[in-house]
Amino acid sequence: MDDLKGGAPVRTRAHVTGIVQGVGFRPFVWRKAVGLGLAGFVRNDTAGVVLEVEGAPAAVTALLAALHTDAPPLARVDQVRSREVALTGEAGFSVQFSDSTGPRDVLVSPDAATCDACLAEVRDPVDRRFGHVFATCTHCGPRYTIVRDVPYDRQRTTMAGFPLCPSCQAEYDDPGDRRFHAQPLCCPACGPRLALLDADGQPVEGDALGGAADLLRAGGVLAVKGLGGFHLAVLAADEAAVALLRRRKHREDRPFALMVADLPGIRTLCDVDPGEEQLLVARARPILLLRRRIGAAVAPSVAPGQRALGVMLPYTALHHRLLAEVGGPLVMTSGNRSDEPIAYEDGDALQRLSGVADAWLTHDRPIRTRVDDSVVRAVRGRVVPIRRSRGYVPDPLTLPLEARRTVLGCGASLKNTFCLARGRHAFVSHHIGDLDDYSTYGSYLDGIDHLRRLFDLQPVLVAHDLHPDYPSTRYAAELPDVERVAVQHHHAHVAACLVDNGVRGPVIGVALDGSGLGEDGTLWGGEFLLADLVTATRVAHLQPVPLPGGDAATRQPWRMAASYLDAAYGADVPALEVRIRQGRRWDHVLSAAAAGLNAPLSSSAGRLFDAVAAVLGLRDAVTYEGQAAVELEQCADEGETGSYPVRVQGGPILEVPGAELVRAVVQDRLAGASVPIVAARFHNAMADVVIDVCSRLRGAHGLDVVALSGGVFQNALLLGRCLDGLQGAGFEVLTHRQVPCNDGGISLGQVAVAAARDGSAC
């Protein structure tokens, strides 16, 4: 320590930006400074944290280094700017109160799972927080979901209605305490109250948590108020209860997520590798898709037709206690009916979940922002985000260029998000959902308004999809006094992947998805683009086929089978079961398409997967978006390495004849190959197509970086095979790491393209 004391004293002023408020940053600086024997102060300002430290040069240097290396768990230090200033000779180190002048550039932290220190208190019979389900400190607890406004302090959160008791106030005021300036802190004396309401919404006397657990153990459906909304819970091992929940929720097949008490519990249900364990225990506590173990004690109705299970660990003290009381894993699915957004307001939840839930385990801390659980999977050691929401939002992503002006990306339509950006920060919103739903559109408008206020971002540039009928495009069109930028859907997909990897291109962008409007007015979705953040050129694609009935073709994969079989065989279509089942509708739909009635042309890769699923008899109609493709992946035999040849057709733009693939599938099946084998060979053939086309494009254009995007790449089997093949062929392969490859990533791509076209300042 001696070398920290020598030398003539110096004084340094430092400005720290990033996520440094509401995360225990000032007490951390205070502890370090006091420990190093430094004088000075630390305070928040509207752009982050400002500190001045005075003392021995080595001690000052050590403190500045610690800002980067020892910051508290929820902090994210983006930048420290420091300069030497005149000595003041003050004694001691103080924590000062906020300075509320100046521009707002402070980041709000995402919600974080209850930390071990808080949990230990909740489980300690002599602690004053024993059993307290709202335990939180500067390192954990609700944040984004309770913030109403900035600067971030208790009065501007939904904890405003809970004045601190003297004991909590003392913790709040003590820089040496783990709860120093923890805005949501509370205790059993001053915090929110848990309540159990019966099916009529009337309070049930007695121990709320115990009563809730009894109900679950008896096979009932419980609505549970969490961080970002209500869940519906039932015992995961109880088939009758899970089936009951499905019926009441009108959810036929879509898998339910599980919440399991701890890692050993998860290991009894699923195979988990060390990388996956890291994802599970991360503060964000996402739902992770894992391979289900044979014989796992989970009711069949939890995830019909799936070999994967969506699993998460508890993330509030309430969850921990409930799981401990119940003694087994719970289904924890979003509190809604079918495709509505998840309920998060108390009155609304009671109304909307009436008839679904047998009881409500709720409390009186309001939720400001509805935030769904996040969903990820891991493929070949890479994180594959499926839904980015609770625990990740509103952490900004870093743009690989400077946005000169404030940009809003309005997103697409399904699984929508929006994105606000300025400078290097891009704030992608929480998962909003499908904008065609009226109440979802309302939460889209509210979300844009809220984030705009929180981060003081007034968009000047507004980026939107080419599709004129998306609600997000219409929203952009109606905004006054802004400059609009139209960004083609698949360019936005690839651009999002570039941002996700911190690069600007150019790359070979492979965008495989459901569909998006192309520059030629047809629906694209099986695209190879030469792309950077400014431009994208279509250089290869799947050969378009008609979508008979337009949107109906998305809901009824048999229509895609009809379209593809017609393209492959003309009048000589073999008598497959799917065709026999549909009878005269089959011919009717094809003749309508031939007459050009509501049969837009599309190169969609998603619809090709649908066609193959229908040809293999997996399903003629879907109950949720992408279901046929999901089931095709889930049934494929992963050990199978066979494939089908596809002759990519040359020309200025390469074309991939999807109908040839469908013909190969049919012939193989007729020759007696099993459905799992054919499904696997089809996946392998799709991967071969990607590798073949990319290799040709490398030859023609000299690019050896490939970016994979579009919702089809949520398919782990396809993504894994593409990664293996492309890397084997010497490509560098970029995949999504922070935002989803599905349309949840579109808003980020739009923002990046608009900012890049606006002229980079660096």
148: left (phi over 0), alpha (psi -120 to 50) or beta: alpha
Nearer Cβ to Zn ion (140/716)? 140
Nearer Cβ to Fe ion (318/628)? 628
- The site partner of 296 among Fe ion, Zn ion, none (C-beta below 5 to 8 Å per kind) is none
Contact assessment for residue 245 and residue 338, using Cβ atoms and an 8 Å cutoff: no
What residues pair up with 428 in beta bridges, in sequence order? 419
Nearer Cβ to Fe ion (179/490)? 490
Q: How far is the CB of 183 from Zn ion (least distance, A)?
A: 13
Q: Does 23 bind Zn ion (CB under 5 A)?
A: no
Comparing CA positions, the residue from 580, 760, 573 lying closest to residue 666 is 573
CA gap 76, 576 in Å, rounded: 58
Q: Say which residues have a Cβ less than 8 Å from residue 309's Cβ, sequence separation at least 6.
A: 255, 258, 269, 270, 289, 290, 291, 292, 296, 298, 302, 303
Comparing CA positions, the residue from 594, 412, 410, 602 lying closest to residue 521 is 602
- The site partner of 678 among Fe ion, Zn ion, none (C-beta below 5 to 8 Å per kind) is none
Q: How far is the CB of 606 from Fe ion (least distance, A)?
A: 9
- The site partner of 50 among Fe ion, Zn ion, none (C-beta below 5 to 8 Å per kind) is none
Q: How far is the CB of 28 from Zn ion (least distance, A)?
A: 14
- The site partner of 218 among Fe ion, Zn ion, none (C-beta below 5 to 8 Å per kind) is none
Q: Does 67 bind Zn ion (CB under 5 A)?
A: no
Q: How far is the CB of 374 from Fe ion (least distance, A)?
A: 19
Whether a cis peptide bond, with omega within 30° of 0, leads into 471 is no
Which residues contact Fe ion by CB under 5 A? 513, 516, 743
The count of chain residues that interact with Zn ion, using the rule CB under 5 A, is 10
- The site partner of 190 among Zn ion, Fe ion, none (C-beta below 5 to 8 Å per kind) is Zn ion
Q: Does 317 bind Zn ion (CB under 5 A)?
A: no
Nearer Cβ to Fe ion (231/493)? 493
- The site partner of 165 among Fe ion, Zn ion, none (C-beta below 5 to 8 Å per kind) is Zn ion
Q: How far is the CB of 516 from Fe ion (least distance, A)?
A: 5
- The site partner of 629 among Zn ion, Fe ion, none (C-beta below 5 to 8 Å per kind) is none
Q: How far is the CB of 742 from Fe ion (least distance, A)?
A: 7
- The site partner of 373 among Fe ion, Zn ion, none (C-beta below 5 to 8 Å per kind) is none
Nearer Cβ to Zn ion (58/190)? 190
CA gap 500, 690 in Å, rounded: 21
Nearer Cβ to Zn ion (138/715)? 138
What residues pair up with 465 in beta bridges, in sequence order? 487
Nearer Cβ to Zn ion (168/665)? 168
Contact assessment for residue 606 and residue 628, using Cβ atoms and an 8 Å cutoff: no
- The site partner of 115 among Fe ion, Zn ion, none (C-beta below 5 to 8 Å per kind) is Zn ion
- The site partner of 496 among Fe ion, Zn ion, none (C-beta below 5 to 8 Å per kind) is none
How many helices and strands, by DSSP H and E, does the chain display?
A: 23, 28
Contact assessment for residue 664 and residue 683, using Cβ atoms and an 8 Å cutoff: no
CA gap 194, 134 in Å, rounded: 9
Comparing CA positions, the residue from 503, 528, 493 lying closest to residue 409 is 493
Query: From the CB of residue 384, how many other CB atoms can be counted at a distance below 10 Å?
Result: 21
* Alpha carbon distances (Å) from 683 to 66, 97, 614, 622: 50, 59, 15, 20
Near Zn ion by CB under 5 A: residue from 118, 284, 332, 741: 118
- The site partner of 545 among Zn ion, Fe ion, none (C-beta below 5 to 8 Å per kind) is none
CA gap 46, 50 in Å, rounded: 10
Q: How far is the CB of 112 from Zn ion (least distance, A)?
A: 8
Q: How far is the CB of 487 from Zn ion (least distance, A)?
A: 41
Contact assessment for residue 281 and residue 326, using Cβ atoms and an 8 Å cutoff: no
Residue facing Fe ion at closest CB distance: 513
Q: How far is the CB of 20 from Zn ion (least distance, A)?
A: 18
Nearer Cβ to Fe ion (158/603)? 603
Strands, DSSP E only, in 657-744? 705-709, 732-734
- The site partner of 743 among Zn ion, Fe ion, none (C-beta below 5 to 8 Å per kind) is Fe ion
As a three-state string, the secondary structure of 293-362 is CCCCCCCHHHCCCCCEEEEECCCCHHHHHHHHHHCCCEEEEECCCCCCCCCCCHHHHHHHCECCECEEEE
Q: How far is the CB of 741 from Fe ion (least distance, A)?
A: 9
Near Zn ion by CB under 5 A: residue from 19, 56, 108, 137: 137
What letters, b where the CB count within 10 A reaches 16 and e where it falls short, cover 424-434? Answer: bbbbbbbbbbb
Please state the separation of Cα 437 from the chain's center in Å: 20
Q: Does 622 bind Zn ion (CB under 5 A)?
A: no
Please state the separation of Cα 417 from the chain's center in Å: 10
Q: How far is the CB of 414 from Fe ion (least distance, A)?
A: 8
Q: Give CA torsion, residues 738, 739, 741, 746, to 10 deg.
A: -150
Nearer Cβ to Zn ion (137/378)? 137
Q: How far is the CB of 67 from Zn ion (least distance, A)?
A: 22
Q: How far is the CB of 710 from Fe ion (least distance, A)?
A: 6
Nearer Cβ to Fe ion (494/578)? 494
Q: How far is the CB of 711 from Fe ion (least distance, A)?
A: 6
* Alpha carbon distances (Å) from 171 to 52, 125, 183, 444: 25, 20, 11, 38
**Tokens encoding 737:** 């790491």
CA gap 88, 85 in Å, rounded: 9
The residue to which tokens 């579109």 are assigned:
746
Contact assessment for residue 604 and residue 553, using Cβ atoms and an 8 Å cutoff: no
- The site partner of 187 among Fe ion, Zn ion, none (C-beta below 5 to 8 Å per kind) is Zn ion
Nearer Cβ to Fe ion (538/663)? 538
Q: Does 666 bind Zn ion (CB under 5 A)?
A: no
CA gap 489, 467 in Å, rounded: 8
Nearer Cβ to Fe ion (158/714)? 714
Site for Zn ion in 560-589 (CB under 5 A): none
Stretch that binds Zn ion, among 134-142, 263-271, 274-282, 454-462 (CB under 5 A): 134-142
Site for Zn ion in 144-203 (CB under 5 A): 165, 168, 187, 189-190
- The site partner of 513 among Fe ion, Zn ion, none (C-beta below 5 to 8 Å per kind) is Fe ion
Q: How far is the CB of 17 from Zn ion (least distance, A)?
A: 24
Query: From the CB of residue 347, how many other CB atoms can be counted at a distance below 10 Å?
Result: 9
Q: Does 133 bind Zn ion (CB under 5 A)?
A: no
Nearer Cβ to Fe ion (506/516)? 516
- The site partner of 34 among Zn ion, Fe ion, none (C-beta below 5 to 8 Å per kind) is none
**Interacting residues toward Zn ion by CB under 5 A:** 115, 118, 137, 139-140, 165, 168, 187, 189-190
